[in-house]
C-alpha cells in the first residue's frame, strides 16, 4: 500500500479480460488498486477520500459509490438538485429528485423506502434516507456513472443479495511523511504547529489547516474574529458562532420531518430561516432558537404543538 495513488500503470490484457466479465475478485491487490486509480482518474475524483468501496454482488466483486463520490461529482460537473418531490404510495415512501448540470442537461431519479408500520423517529430517518437515495441516484445518472450507491447497497444487504467481501477492502495509503513529526508543546507558534501536522495538546485549539486535521462536521464552524469593541466581528443575531451550541440529532430529525410534512423543500426552508435571521444550514440551527425555527416553517402549528405560552 506504499505505492502512490498518483502513479497509474497501464491496464494489462489479463485485467481487461476480468473487467469484461464484471468480476474484480481474480485481480491481485496491486491490480485492484491500479483499477481503482484509473476509475478515479477518469472521473476526476480524489482517491484519498475513498469515493468507492467493494461489494460482492451475485458472486462478483464490484465497486459501488460512497457519499464522497456523489458529492465530488456534483462539484466537478456543476450538478444542482432542482427539486425534491416526496409522496407516499401505499406502504412506500417515494421521493423523485430532479437535477441539472452546468451544460443544461436535465435528469431525474426515484428513491423509495418501505415505511409500513414505521412511526416517530424511525419515520423521520426513513424520510431522510429516501431523499438521500433519490439525490445520489440522480447524481450518478446525470454524470453517466452506471453503478450502485451505498444507500442501495444497504437494501441489497438486508435482502441477502450483497455482502461485504472478506479480504478485498481497499485502504488509502498513509499520507503523513515517514519522518517523525516533532511533539507539540505550548510554546510552539501557530505556524510551527501547522508544519508539524500533528494535533495540539489536549485543551488547546486545533489551528492546523483543514486538509491536515480532516473535514470538520457542520456544527463546528469557525468563530468570528473579535471586533475592537470585543464582540464577535460580523456576527449577526441568529448566525452560528463557534461556541454557540446547536440543535441535537433528535431535534434535527424532528425539524426535517416537520419541514417535509409542511411540503417545504430545502430552498423554502432556507428562506424561512433567513426570514427570522438564521443564516445557516438546518442541521446547525442554534439550540436557543430551535422553537423560532419550528414556528418559521410551521406557523399554524399544524405539524407541531409546542405553541408559545
Report pLDDT digits (tens) over 151-191: 888 777 776 667 777 654 544 444 444 444 445 455 555 55
Does the pLDDT value for residue 68 go beyond 70? yes
Instruction: State the pLDDT confidence band at 97, using cuts at 50, 70 and 90.
Output: very high
Mean pLDDT of 37-66: 88
Does the pLDDT value for residue 217 go beyond 50? no
Domain map (residue ranges) of the chain: 1-75+144-172, 80-142, 227-304
Q: What is the sign, positive or negative, of the torsion defined by CA atoms of 34, 40, 41, 46?
A: negative
Mean pLDDT of 228-234: 42
Q: What is the pLDDT of residue 173?
A: 42
Q: What is the pLDDT of residue 205?
A: 54
Nearest to 108 by CA among 66, 77, 140: 140
Instruction: State the pLDDT confidence band at 3, using cuts at 50, 70 and 90.
Output: very low
Give the integer Cα–Cα distance in Å for 188 and 208: 12
- Say which residue, 209 or 54, is predicted with more confidence: 54
Mean pLDDT of 242-255: 80
Mean pLDDT of 289-293: 88
Of 83-97, 112-126, 152-166, 177-191, which range is least confident? 177-191
Mean pLDDT of 195-210: 52
Q: What is the pLDDT of residue 204?
A: 52
| Highest-scoring range by mean pLDDT, 20-29, 154-163, 261-270 | 261-270
Q: What is the pLDDT of residue 194?
A: 53
Q: Return the axis-axis angle of helices 249-261 and 120-142, rounded to nearest 10°.
A: 70
| Highest-scoring range by mean pLDDT, 168-172, 220-224, 279-283 | 279-283
CA distances from 297 to 14, 41, 134, 246, 288 (A): 58, 43, 23, 18, 16
Q: What is the pLDDT of residue 228?
A: 42
- Say which residue, 41 or 175, is predicted with more confidence: 41
| Highest-scoring range by mean pLDDT, 121-125, 198-202, 231-235, 236-240 | 121-125
- Say which residue, 81 or 209, is predicted with more confidence: 81
Q: What is the pLDDT of residue 215?
A: 45
Mean pLDDT of the chain: 75
What is the percentage of the chain residues whose pLDDT exceeds 70?
A: 66
Written as nine digits, the cell of 60 is 462478483
Of 163-172, 239-248, 288-297, which range is least confident? 163-172
Written as nine digits, the cell of 286 is 442554534
Does the pLDDT value for residue 134 go beyond 60? yes
Q: What is the pLDDT of residue 196?
A: 54
Does the pLDDT value for residue 96 go beyond 90? yes
- Say which residue, 234 or 250, is predicted with more confidence: 250
Q: What is the pLDDT of residue 223?
A: 45
Transcribe the chain into DSSP letters: --S-TT--PPPPHHHHHHHHHT--TTS-HHHHHHHHHHHHHHHT--GGG--EEEEEETTEEEEEE-HHHHHHHHHHHT-EEEEEEEEEETTEEEEEEEEE-TT--EEEEEEEEE-TT--HHHHHHHHHHHHHHHHHHHHHHHTT--S-BHHHHHHHHHTTSEE--SS----PPP-S-SSPPPPP-TT--HHHHHHHTSPPPTTS---S-HHHH-PPPTT-PPPPPBPTTSSBTT--TTS--TTS-B--HHHHHHHHHHHHHTT--HHHHHHHHHHTT--S-GGG-BGGGHHHHHHHH-TT-SS------
Amino acid at each position: 500500500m506504499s505505492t502512490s495513488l498518483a502513479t497509474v500503470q497501464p491496464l494489462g490484457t489479463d485485467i481487461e479480460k476480468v473487467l469484461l466479465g464484471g468480476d474484480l475478485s481474480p485481480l491481485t491487490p496491486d491490480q485492484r488498486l491500479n483499477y481503482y486509480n484509473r476509475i478515479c482518474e477518469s472521473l476526476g475524483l480524489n482517491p484519498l477520500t475513498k469515493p468507492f468501496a467493494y461489494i460482492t454482488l451475485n458472486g462478483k466483486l464490484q465497486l459501488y459509490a460512497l457519499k464522497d463520490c456523489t458529492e465530488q461529482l456534483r462539484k466537478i460537473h456543476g450538478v444542482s438538485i432542482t427539486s425534491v418531490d416526496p409522496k407516499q404510495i401505499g406502504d412506500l415512501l417515494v421521493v423523485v429528485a430532479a437535477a441539472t448540470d452546468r451544460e443544461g442537461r436535465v435528469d431525474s431519479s426515484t428513491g423509495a423506502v418501505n415505511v409500513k408500520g414505521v412511526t416517530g423517529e424511525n419515520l423521520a430517518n426513513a424520510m431522510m434516507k429516501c431523499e438521500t437515495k433519490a439525490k445520489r441516484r440522480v447524481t450518478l445518472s446525470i454524470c453517466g456513472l452506471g453503478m450502485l450507491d451505498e444507500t442501495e447497497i444497504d437494501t441489497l444487504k438486508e435482502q441477502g443479495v450483497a455482502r461485504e467481501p472478506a479480504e478485498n477492502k481497499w485502504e488509502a495509503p498513509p499520507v503523513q511523511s515517514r519522518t517523525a513529526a516533532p511533539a507539540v508543546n505550548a510554546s510552539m507558534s501557530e505556524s510551527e504547529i501547522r508544519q508539524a501536522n500533528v494535533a495540539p495538546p489536549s485543551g488547546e485549539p486545533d489551528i492546523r489547516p483543514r486538509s491536515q486535521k480532516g473535514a470538520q462536521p457542520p456544527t463546528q464552524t469557525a468563530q468570528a474574529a473579535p471586533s475592537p469593541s470585543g464582540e464577535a466581528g460580523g456576527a449577526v443575531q441568529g448566525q452560528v458562532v463557534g461556541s454557540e451550541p446547536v440543535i441535537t440529532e433528535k431535534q434535527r430529525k424532528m425539524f426535517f420531518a416537520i419541514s417535509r410534512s409542511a411540503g417545504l423543500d430545502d430552498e423554502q426552508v432556507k428562506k424561512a430561516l433567513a426570514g427570522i435571521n438564521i443564516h445557516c444550514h438546518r442541521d446547525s440551527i442554534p439550540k436557543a432558537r430551535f422553537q423560532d425555527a419550528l414556528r418559521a416553517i410551521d406557523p399554524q402549528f399544524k405539524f407541531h404543538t409546542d405553541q408559545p405560552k
